[in-house]
Copies of this chain bind each other. A is one copy, B any other.
Amino acid sequence: MSNKLKVGFIGLGIMGQSMAGHLLAAGHPLNVFNRSKAKTNDLVAKGAKWFDTIGDLAAESDVIITMVGYPSDVEQVYFGAGNILDRAKNAYLIDMTTSSPSLAKRIAEEAEKRGCHSLDAPVSGGDIGARNAKLSIMVGGKQADFDAVLPVLKIMGTNVVLQGGPGAGQHTKMCNQIVIAGTIMGVAEGLGYAKSVGLNPETVMESIGGGAASGFQLLNLGAKMIVGDYAPGFYVEHFLKDLGIALEEADKVKLELPALALAKKLYEELVAKGCSRDGTQVIYTRYIK
């Protein structure tokens, strides 16, 4: 039998499947649960153990990783009767969902009362980063707990940084999303302007793609905008969730973020137009006829 930590993984979407697969490949016994069982088939075929309930999985795992959709899902899997906090025993609880910093603090307080160790550890890098085990993992929690699970996190990511106490990982992810919110508006407006005044956006990219306007959003999502490719790298509805969390947290510290508020409004308008499941670059459509 392996002496490696037994990992329970809850939430096997596109990213979760890749991340859990790396843990399994690295020799960790893997327990899995997902709302839609079919998504765990590949992992089970490779040796993962399926559990019918989150509680049973939690009771038999040393480390419990959650990678679900919304803060409401996180709340449910942690606080729902018979779920993680009711059943985990002296375990490391790692929420890798992008979720609310305030909720992360609540989980940490409750976990401590029950003798568990909690970390919030959202990621960036998307499905490609997950597939290549090159995620950036932003962690909030206690140093000792971070140290204990760092070898596990390093199986999934190349840039694993402890940012502070409980909630600091989520706060850091919010910083990332806030920067992106302003940037993607700028990219969409700049390229939309190009098109509106009769320039060739591809030629414009030759001039501006290497200078002070340049960055991941311009080079990657800008390139998709100008060819009309709105396939999701990151869903509008998930981005909007993040923007909402960030605005709520900013309100709590009485910080006004007008560009973030504007981005939230524009993405809400896109959702109203049926763009929830498009990629975030669909904001470009606002600026073209």
Contact = CB atoms under 8 A, between A and B. Distances in A.
Interface of A: 101, 124-126, 129, 136, 138, 159, 161, 163-164, 168, 171-172, 174-187, 189-194, 196-200, 203-204, 206-208, 210-218, 220, 234, 246, 249-250, 253, 255, 257-260, 262-263, 266, 287
B161 A175 contact: no
Contacts of A215: 183, 213-218
User: Most chain-B Cβ atoms within 10 A of its Cβ — which of A168, A234, A249?
Assistant: A168
A124 B138 CA distance: 34
Contacts of A198: 164, 168, 171
A220 to B, nearest CB: 8
User: Most chain-B Cβ atoms within 10 A of its Cβ — which of A136, A159, A183, A266?
Assistant: A183
A210 B172 CA distance: 13
A199 B192 CA distance: 35
A5 B259 CA distance: 48
A193 B126 contact: no
Given A207-B163, A216-B212, A186 B259 contact: yes
A168 to B, nearest CB: 6
A257 B287 contact: yes
Contacts of A184: 182
Given A164-B200, A175-B193, A189-B260, 4 more contacts: A171-B197, A175-B191, A178-B186, A215-B215
Contacts of A207: 124, 136, 138, 159, 161, 163, 172, 176
Contacts of A257: 189, 192-193, 287
Contacts of A192: 255, 257
A182 B180 contact: no
Nearest to A126: B212
A63 to B, nearest CB: 21
Contact of A213 (B163, B179, B249): B179
Given A186-B186, A206-B161, A262-B258, A199 B212 contact: no
A89 to B, nearest CB: 31
